[in-house]
Structure 1
C-alpha cells in the first residue's frame, strides 16, 4: 500500500474548506457581511512543518489571534494551545476548534502525530518518540509564534487525549490540559479484567491501516494481543504508555487536568478515568456523559457549539488566562438515560450509600462455555453512540436469553426506582471444567415486558485453576450513572462469551456459578 500523502496544495485547499465550514451558516446567508470575517479567519491560519529531534517532520497548522484580540501580555504574547491529532487523523482535524481558540485569544498549534498521514516516521502509540515530539512542538511554537512560555496548554482527542496527559507528566511548562476521550491506563484499555479487548483493538488497527505506518514494535504487540501470546510483554509495552504510571510527575508539576469521557467508551472505559482522577492532587475536573469513544466531541469538530469543547475553553480561560470561570463542582455527570446533570465535590460523593443484593442464595447454575447467550456489551463505537443520541443502550429480551449459555437472575421490582452511581461490584464462586476461562457480568434495567437495557458490564478472566475446584470470582463492572425507573427490576446475567473480548473459556467446557452477591452504589 502506498504511503498516505498530501501535497501542500491539497492541505491548503482542505484547510480553506474546513475554516469555511467552521464559520457557520451566516457566511452563506449574508455574504457581504461575513466575507471580511472569513478573510480574517483565513489570515490567522497557516501550514507549517515542524522538524522533530530525530529528523522526522511533523505536519502542523498554526492559528494566531486576529490583531487586537484581548488576552495578550505586555510583550504581545498570547497563551498557546498545542493539539495533537487523534488516532488516524491529521492536523486539519481541529480546524474548527483552532479557529475558535484563536478568536478567543490563543495561539494554537495542531499537528499530525508521527507515523500518520503526511508526518514522517512510524506510529509510536504514545511512546517516547511521541512524548519527545510534544516538547519539540512547544519549543517550535515559542520560537516562531507569539506564544507565551508561561501560559502553555494542551488539548487532544483520543490518542491526542492520552498524549496531553503524558505531556503534563514530561514537560513542566504545560500548565493546563484537557484530555477528551483519552486514556489514563493503556494496559487497562487493552486488558482490563485480565481479558483481551480484541474488538476495540481490531477497530483501532483498521483505522490505522490506511492512514498510518505501523512500526515493527506496534505490529508485534498487535499480533501478540490477537494471538493471546506473550501478554506480559504486551502489558509492559502498554504500561510505559500509561499516564497513570507517571502520575507523580503530573502531581509534582501541579498541572490543571480536565478529563472528559463517555460512559460507554468502548476503547477507554470510564473505570480507569475515575481511578486516575481520584489520584490527582492538583486542580482537576471530571466530566462523564453518555457516548462512545470520541462521539461526545464530534459536533465540536464540525464547528458547532459543543459542551465538551466549551468546557475545555473555559478550563483554559481559568488556568491560562486567570479568568474567574466558575464551572461548578469539579465532578459533572450526565445521568443515563434521563440526561439530568449532577455535580459533586469529588468522585467519592457520587454515591451516598451501598445496597447489598444476593441472588439465589444456596443455588448453583452450570452453563456451557464460550457460547453466546444473547447478552452483549454492544459493538465498539456504535453502542455508546446510540446511547448518547437515542438513549438506547444495548437491549435484550431477558426471557429469551439462552439459559444454557448464561445464568439469568432478577430482583424484585423497585417501586421507588433506583439511582445507580459508580461501579457495581459482583462476587460469586466459579467451578470450571477447564483451568482457564472468562466470565462476563451484565446488569440490566428490566421493564414489565422483559425488555432489558444495559446498565453496565465487564469481563473477568482466570487461569491456572484446578478443574472441578470452586474458587471465588470478583467482577467490578464499569462505572455508570443510571436511573432505573420506578417499577422496574434489575437483572444480573453471567455468561462466558462476548464478541467485544477475546475470552479464555474453551469451547465444550462448562462453568458453574454459585450464589451471586451484588454491591450496588446508590445515590
Structure 2
C-alpha cells in the first residue's frame, strides 16, 4: 500500500484556494463598505460556551430600530471561511424582513477556542448565539431558523436536535453521517480528509482530539477504528434523528451529485427518516459548488429555495413550497428539474446486469479507471458535462475487471443509488476494491456515472466472501445505443487502498448467489 502522507499536503494546498475563494471574494473590502448607518450591518463579539468569543455580524431590516417581531436566521460559517461568508445572502434576507446573525464558528479565524468539529461546545455555542440575538436584536423568539453551507450545514442540522427553539433549517452541502461520508466502505476518502485537515490547519486551531483523529485516520490504524467511528457518530445528525423529529423543525437539505467530501447517499437515507416538514434537493456539481454563486449575491436556485423555505415556515407565507414535490433532482445530463414524492420513488424500476464468469485481477496498480480529482472533475461535469472518462477497451484486464450490458435501444435514465453484489476471494486477509459504473459509447469511451470504494480486513485468504456495495447516488441519462459497464480495480487517488504487495482478487458468480449490478431507472 502506498503511503499517502506526502500526497496529502500537496492535495490540501492545491485545493484550499478553491475552498477559500468565496470567502476572500466577500472579504475585508466588502466588510468595509458595509456601514451600519446605511445597511444595518454591525460586527459584534458574542460570548459562546465557556465565554469563548465568537466573531459575528448582524444584519437587520431597514427601519428595524425600536421594532420587534422579526424572524431570526442564524448562519454558522463553513469550514475555514470568515464571518463575512454569508454577507450577500444575509443582506438579501434582511431586505425581505429577517434579522440575520452570522458567526465564525469556534476555532476558526478570529473566533476563540479550538476546532471541535460540531461537538458539544459547538452545539452550546448555537444556543448562546440565539440567546444573544433575542436579547440584542428585534428578533422573535418563536420564529428562529438556521442555515449554512458545509460545516455550517452540519452544525445547523445537529442544532435542530439540541435546541427546540429552532423551527426551520436549511442545510446546504452538509452531512448526515460523518463517518460514512469520509470513510464509506471502510475506506478513507484521502483527498477529502486531506482538504479538511489542510484548511483547518491553515485557518484555525484544531483541537488535540481532532489532530489525533486525523493522525489515526491517515495512518490506517485499525486499533483506533472504534474510537474514530464513535467520534464521528457523536457528530452525525443521523444519530439524533429521533430528537430532531421530536423537536419538529422543518428541514430542507440540498447537496450535489458529485460531492467528494459529503456524498449524497447519507442525506437521502437521513431524509427518509425525517417525519416533519422536509425537502431534499440534489444538483450537479461538487462540494458547495451549487451554492457558491449565491455567496457573491448572484441568482442561485439553492439560496432562492432557502429563502422560500424560511418564508413559509418562519413567516407563514403561502408561497406553495409545501405543496411542491418535496424531492427535487436536477439531472446531470439535461439540467432539467424532476420532482418526486419521496426518495424511494426516484428509481421506480431497477435493471440487474449480471456479472457472469470468474475474473481475477492483480492489485496495487491504477488501471486508468478512477473517480477523478476532488472539486475539478465534478465541476467540469457540472459546467460542461465532462465527467472523468476512460476507454474501456484499453483498460488492462490484468488490473481491471470489466462487465458490460447490452446496447440500449432507448435512453436509460439512471436515478438514485446503484448497488453492487458480488463474491470476492482474496489471496490476502485485507484488500481494497473500487467499483465504477460507466456510460460507454459506440467507440468504447466510458463516461463515469458513479463509483464507490470498499475495503475488507480479517478475511481468510482463499475463502470466498460476499460484498454488497452502494455506489454514490446520481441522476444520469445513458443515450440510446450506449452500454453500461461496471469496472472494478484496486487503486484510486481519491482513496487510501489497503492491498498487500502481490495480492490478487477474484470475482465470481456462484449459482446459488449470482453476482449483479442493480441499476435504478426512472419510470418513463
TM-score in same-fold range (> 0.5): yes
Q: Indicate which of 295, 299, 313 corresponds to 1:301.
A: 295
Count of matched residue positions in the alignment of Structure 1 and Structure 2:
489
**CA spacing shift, 1:18–1:304, aligned 2, 3 Å:** farther
Residues 181-233 of structure 1: per-residue CA shift (max 9 Å, x gap): 00010011121111111211001111112100111000000000000111111
Q: Does 1:17 align with 2:9?
A: no
* Partner Cα distance (2:28, 2:94) in 1: 15
Residues 470-512 of structure 1: per-residue CA shift (max 9 Å, x gap): 1111111111111101111111001111111112121321111
Q: Does 1:292 align with 2:291?
A: no
Q: Is the 8 A contact 2:190 2:496 kept in 1?
A: yes
Residue of structure 2 equivalent to 1:275: 269
Q: Indicate which of 184, 187, 194 corresponds to 2:176.
A: 184
Residue of structure 2 equivalent to 1:340: 336
Q: Is the 8 A contact 1:125 1:241 kept in 2?
A: yes
Residue of structure 1 equivalent to 2:20: none
Residue of structure 2 equivalent to 1:422: 416
Q: Is the 8 A contact 1:41 1:99 kept in 2?
A: no
Residue of structure 2 equivalent to 1:353: 349
Residue of structure 1 equivalent to 2:102: 110
**CA spacing shift, 1:49–1:40, aligned 2, 3 Å:** closer
Q: Does 1:518 align with 2:517?
A: yes
SS in 2 for 1:140: helix
Show the 5 A alignment for 1:192-207.
192-207=184-199
Q: Is the 8 A contact 2:36 2:42 kept in 1?
A: no
Q: Indicate which of 199, 202, 206 corresponds to 1:210.
A: 202
* Partner Cα distance (1:297, 1:458) in 2: 24
Residue of structure 1 equivalent to 2:405: 411
* Partner Cα distance (2:190, 2:479) in 1: 34
Show the 5 A alignment for 1:24-43.
42-43=38-39
* Partner Cα distance (1:283, 1:370) in 2: 47
* Partner Cα distance (1:155, 1:17) in 2: 21
Residue of structure 2 equivalent to 1:5: none
Q: Is the 8 A contact 1:434 1:467 kept in 2?
A: yes
**CA spacing shift, 1:426–1:53, aligned 2, 3 Å:** closer
Residue of structure 2 equivalent to 1:458: 452
Shift of 1:16: 5.4
**CA spacing shift, 1:198–1:97, aligned 2, 3 Å:** same
SS in 2 for 1:408: strand
* Partner Cα distance (2:191, 2:237) in 1: 23
Shift of 1:18: 5.2
* Partner Cα distance (1:352, 1:391) in 2: 25
Q: TM-score, normalised by structure 2?
A: 0.91
Residues 313-344 of structure 1: per-residue CA shift (max 9 Å, x gap): 00000000000122321000001211121001
Q: Is the 8 A contact 1:41 1:66 kept in 2?
A: no
Shift of 1:39: 6.5
* Partner Cα distance (1:393, 1:299) in 2: 21
Q: Is the 8 A contact 1:44 1:65 kept in 2?
A: yes
* Partner Cα distance (1:190, 1:15) in 2: 33
* Partner Cα distance (1:490, 1:43) in 2: 54
Q: Indicate which of 393, 400, 403 corresponds to 2:394.
A: 400
Q: Does 1:444 align with 2:434?
A: no
SS in 2 for 1:501: coil
**CA spacing shift, 1:65–1:269, aligned 2, 3 Å:** same
Residues 288-336 of structure 1: per-residue CA shift (max 9 Å, x gap): 0001001111100011011001110000000000001223210000012
Shift of 1:76: 2.6
In structure 2, the gaps of 5 or more residues are: 1-23, 510-514
* Partner Cα distance (1:62, 1:181) in 2: 24
Residue of structure 1 equivalent to 2:309: 315
SS in 2 for 1:273: helix
Shift of 1:463: 1.3
Q: Does 1:223 align with 2:215?
A: yes
* Partner Cα distance (2:433, 2:166) in 1: 42
Residue of structure 1 equivalent to 2:18: none
Residue of structure 2 equivalent to 1:65: 61
Shift of 1:56: 1.0
Q: Indicate which of 246, 265, 276 corresponds to 1:252.
A: 246
Residue of structure 2 equivalent to 1:484: 478
Shift of 1:14: 4.5
Q: Is the 8 A contact 2:40 2:62 kept in 1?
A: yes
* Partner Cα distance (2:487, 2:116) in 1: 39
* Partner Cα distance (1:76, 1:52) in 2: 24
* Partner Cα distance (1:257, 1:331) in 2: 12
Query: Mean alpha-carbon deviation: is it higher for 412-421 or for 169-178?
Result: 412-421
Query: Mean alpha-carbon deviation: is it higher for 314-323 or for 344-353?
Result: 344-353
Q: Is the 8 A contact 1:19 1:42 kept in 2?
A: no
Residue of structure 2 equivalent to 1:504: 498
Q: Is the 8 A contact 1:40 1:66 kept in 2?
A: no
SS in 2 for 1:431: strand
Residue of structure 1 equivalent to 2:131: 139
